[in-house]
Amino acid sequence: MGEVDRVKARKLAELDALVGVAQGNIQGLAAQQRNLQSQAADLERAGRPVQQALVDQLNDLRDQQYKLQADIAGYQAARVKAEAGFAEDRVRVQRLTQ
């Protein structure tokens, strides 16, 4: 029984770590996005056009954030599935050891 619990804890910790890394990456991308938006606003206030490269960078940052959010949803779904699988394993081990 203890082995099942150890494997479960390891797997869930791994998935939680992946979620944490993705969330950190989203925060970093959001900071970059705020910076670029500030640059674009400064250009507009100065009456200068916003370069297409800047717009493209903003779009790329947005797309990266959406992908990371989808990754997080996948990790969370995998966590739920893993918890259910480990619950089944635990019941199976209990039956075998009785």
Q: Tell me the pTM.
A: 0.84
Determine the Cα–Cα distance for residues 64 and 88; give it in Å rounded to an integer.
Answer: 36
φ, ψ (nearest 5 deg) of residue 49: -75, 150
DSSP state of 19: H
Taking CA 14 as the corner, what is the angle to CA 12 and CA 20, rounded to the nearest 5 degrees? 105
Q: Band the pLDDT of 98: cuts 50, 70, 90.
A: confident
Q: Name 11's Cβ contacts closer than 8 Å, sequence gap at least 6.
A: 82, 86
Domain regions of the chain by residue span: 2-96
- Structure token pair of residue 91: 């019941």
Q: Band the pLDDT of 19: cuts 50, 70, 90.
A: very high
Query: What would the pLDDT profile of 31-86 be if each residue is shown by its tens digit?
Result: 999 999 999 999 999 999 999 999 999 999 999 999 999 999 999 999 999 999 98
